[in-house]
Amino acid sequence: MSLQRLSFASTNLDKLLGNGLETQAITEFVGEFGAGKSQICMKLSVNVQLPAKDGGLEGKALFIDTEGTFAAQRVYQMAQAMGLDAEKILDGIIYSRVYNSDHQILTVDHAFKICQEENIKLLVVDSILSHFRGEYIGRESLSERQQRLNSHLHKLLRIAQALNLAVIITNQVQANPQAFFGDPMRPAGGNILAHASTHRVMLKKASQGLRVAKIIDSPYLPESETYFQITTKGVEDAAPKSRRDE
Ligand SMILES: Nc1ncnc2c1ncn2[C@@H]1O[C@H](COP(=O)(O)OP(=O)(O)O)[C@@H](O)[C@H]1O
Ligand SMILES: [Mg+2]
C-alpha cells in the first residue's frame, strides 16, 4: 500500500509537512489554548473527502472529540466557503464524543472495524491527553497512565498502517522547568507521546492575528516553520506584513 498525502489546501502548510499530511503515520499538533489545533482538525476532516485531484483522499473522517469543541456549524461554514455541499461534508464526518479515558480507549479499540467499513481516511483524536491528564494525578499513577497511553497510541498507529489512513492527534503544551535556553514550553505527555508521534508540529499565536506552525520533531522533515491564518474557509496561507508595507 503506497503512502498517500492529504492536502491542507495551503501551500505553506503542505510544504512544511512535505506535501501534505501523510497516511500510515501519526501527526501531532501541539499548542496552547486557541492556537488553532481544533480548526486544523476540522479543516482536514473536510479536505479528506475531496477528490485526489484536489488534494483529498476520497474518504470519510472519524472525529474523536474529548473536549467537546468540535463545531458542526464551523465545518458547515468551511465547506460552504469552499463551494462544497456542506450537508454532504457533514455526513462524511463520523463524530464520537468521548467522556473519559476508558471511553476513549474503547472507542479506538472499535475504530478499526468502523474505519474499514466506512472508508475512513482520516482519524482525529482531539485531544489525546486531556482525559488522561485529568484522571491520573500524582506521581504514583504516572507509570500506569503512561502504559495505557502507550498501548492506546500503538493501536492508533496500527490502524493508520493497516488501513493506509492519516491519524491526527492534538496535544497541549506544558512548562518545561529545565529550559534555561530555548522554548520554555514543551509538549505534554513525555517520551511516550514523543516516540509515538511520527511528526510533531508546534502551533503558536503570532502578531497581526497570524499563527506559526513549526516542525519540532520528524524522522525526515527539516525543522522549518511557516505562517498561516484561520479564516472562514479554514486555514489559509499568510505572511506577516513588514512595517514598510503599512
Ligand atoms: N470562522 C472563523 N474565522 C476566523 N477565525 C476563527 C473562526 N473560527 C475560529 N477562529 C479562530 O480559531 C481560534 C480557536 O482555535 P482552536 O482550533 O479552537 O484552538 P485550539 O484547539 O488550539 O485550542 C479562535 O481563537 C479564533 O481566533
Ligand atoms: Mg481545541
Give me the CATH number covering residue 135: 3.40.50.300
Q: Residue 172: CB within 6 Å of ligand 1? A: no
- Ligand 1: centre distance to CA 36 (Å): 5
**Model confidence at 164, in pLDDT bands (50, 70, 90)?**
very high
Task: Express each pLDDT in 124-143 by its tens digit.
Answer: 999 999 999 999 888 788 89
Task: Express each pLDDT in 18-62 by its tens digit.
Answer: 999 999 999 999 999 999 999 999 999 999 999 999 999 999 999
Is the pLDDT at 15 greater than 70? The verdict is yes
Q: Give the number of the ligand closest to the Cα of residue 173.
A: 1
Residue with cell 492527534: 169
Residue 246 within a domain: no
**CA–CA distance, 41 with 56 (Å, rounded to integer):** 14
pLDDT, position 241: 84
**Model confidence at 240, in pLDDT bands (50, 70, 90)?**
confident
- Ligand 1: centre distance to CA 234 (Å): 9
- Residue 53: which domain range? 5-240
Could you tell which of 203, 230, 233, 235 is best to mutate to test the pocket of ligand 1, judged by most ligand atoms within 8 Å of the CB? 230
Residue 245 within a domain: no
Neighbour-count burial for 101-137, b at 16+ CB within 10 Å, e otherwise: beebbebbeebbebbeeeebbbbbbbbbbbbbbeebe
DSSP state of 1: -
Residue 229 within a domain: yes
Residue 105 within a domain: yes
Residue 204 within a domain: yes
CA atoms within 13 A of residue 141's CA, in its CB half-sphere = 9
Residue ranges with CB less than 5 Å from ion ligand 2 = 37-38, 69
How many distinct structural domains can be found in the chain?
Answer: 1
pLDDT, position 243: 58
pLDDT, position 245: 54
pLDDT, position 180: 74
Task: Express each pLDDT in 84-120 by its tens digit.
Answer: 999 999 999 999 999 999 999 999 999 999 999 999 9
The counts of H helices and E strands in the chain are 8, 13
Q: Residue 34: CB within 6 Å of ligand 1? A: yes
The rounded mean pLDDT for the chain is: 94
Q: How far apart are the first and last CA of the chain?
A: 50
